[in-house]
Structure 1
Amino acid sequence: MTTSSAVPLSILDLAIIGPGQTAADAFTNSVALAQRAEARGYQRVWYAEHHNMSVIASSAPAVLIAHVAAHTSTIRLGAGGVMLPNHSPLTIAEQYGTLATLHPGRIDLGLGRAPGSDQTTARAMRRDPRASDRFPDDVVELQAYLRGASTVAGVEAVPGAGTDVPLWILGSSLFGARLAAALGLPYAFASHFAPGALLEAIEIYRREFQPSEQLAEPWAMAGVNVIASDTDDDAERQFHEVRRHRIARFLAPGRELTDAELDLIVDSPQGRQVAQMMHYSAVGTADIVARYVREFATAAQVDEVITAHASGTIDERLRSVDLLADANDPVTV
């Protein structure tokens, strides 16, 4: 685990489609965010596979990664993650092998076992309900394709074989921690929306880690929501708005709500439960947010923090990225 005052920082970009915007606008914003992250020294930007969500445009992360990679030059880009049970390991090996061939040394592949959607959408994707049970075997099969050592006789990933795209295991429970440890892979915990098992999962991962060809020592990353602004009041305003809209997305998807209706939902037991999903949130001016991120990394025993800059507009998100980068500099903190 890093002990320096500067914490390695990355970004999770959900490619949010804001009010009055289109998916094309979200992709333009994703390019701008990645370019700013690259300029400010962030480690990587990841995109998560979500389906049938009207405000999230990252349903095809490989395609989005290709687009962003063509508009950046050095920053690592990856899936955070691909929901592997939705796909065959060979297909994902070919997709990410293609990306790694086009952009050598810049591609990550985070893998999760959730559907990334509701049950109706999962059925529309022809998802096998038993596919999650095969997740560990599918990870091993995928890794073998990327190494050029296929476990399926007569089948190779072209392109893909020999690219050795680094795999990560994603999770929000103890299952992923144990699998990442057993396979000797880096582990990313989704504490930006599922905070409950964070500390136990990281402890298990570190205790049970087995060195592998990819990774000699454990490397853990965890997510934090970040809203950094020039004043505490403005950061709190942004956080209040983000939290209200997130609760509405979960509890009243697709509905246009009056302020009174939104207040009722936010104040309901279900609303408070959704709000708790944002437990790990750094909100305030640059120094406050940077201190929160450092203390979070120490308390959670993680080597890297992936930040979800949750502000409502791209200008606010870019400002948040800049302020955290400034304050994370060991010279200035």
Structure 2
Amino acid sequence: MGKRARRSRGSSSTEEEGSLNSKRCPPPKTLKMASGNEDTLRSLSPELQSLAQLLLKQTQQQQEALLDEFKEVGKKLSAQIHALDNKVEALSSDLSQVKERVSATEHSAEFQASEIQELRSALEEERRGRVKADLLAERYSRKADIIIRGLPCTEGEDAEKVFGGFMAERLGLDPVPLVAVHRLSKPTKSRPNPPLLVRLVNFNDRDRILKEGRNLRGNKEGLAVFEHLPPPLQAARAKLVPARDAAAAAAKGTNDKVWIRVPPKATYALLLVNGQEKKRVDAVDLILAEYKKGMSA
């Protein structure tokens, strides 16, 4: 009994001491409580009250300082943002001007390209017209001439008698007045019978001889009568020879007629099959091609 009473008294005294200590040293209030309620500060001990007030004051000062700093930073950021906005607006304006200039430049370039193309086309047409006119003028200057191929050439021959014999024996025509007659070149080993050039007085005689000369096609001696064409027209005609030979071989055994013709007052040669055009070569194109080739070289 004595021990229990002592324990009871001990525990009771301990509890009383704890209660007294709790009254003397209450738990500290939080800063939120101290800043929000003055009555709470009054409930603190004087030492804690002064400490809490000091902390509150320091906190307020720090908050005010931070707020001032934030305001200053905000002003600086606002100024910088405003400056950036101005720069962006200036750049946007400059970009718009650049786009307008680029658009104007592109439009001008397109217009100039179109003008250049038109000028090139006009120049090409002018050059083509000039070449054609020169070629036709040269052809007209040779209109009174005919070329006879395949006539045997002998040393010291009389060209006028050779032509007269050809007219009587092969064409069955009477002699016609001449301006000149001669071989186009001297005979060589590779070319023992150069073509005979004849310049006639009358164009009607020329046309009649050319007409009768068409009957000589396919003869064994290789005799042929041609108009004296300018070299570009001769080249155009020569380019059709392989196609003519191929067409003639394909038409063998049929009634198809194949020949090459250079129409009057024309600058081109035609490959005809039964009178229908199958192929054409223009001497003007050949001249212009040589001109471009010379320019590029």
Which structure is higher in RCO with an 8 Å CA cutoff and minimum separation 6?
Answer: 1
Higher fraction of helix: 2
TM over 0.5, shorter chain: no
For Structure 1 versus Structure 2, the TM-score category normalised by the shorter chain is under 0.3
Q: TM-score, normalised by structure 2?
A: 0.21
The structure that has the greater radius of gyration is 2
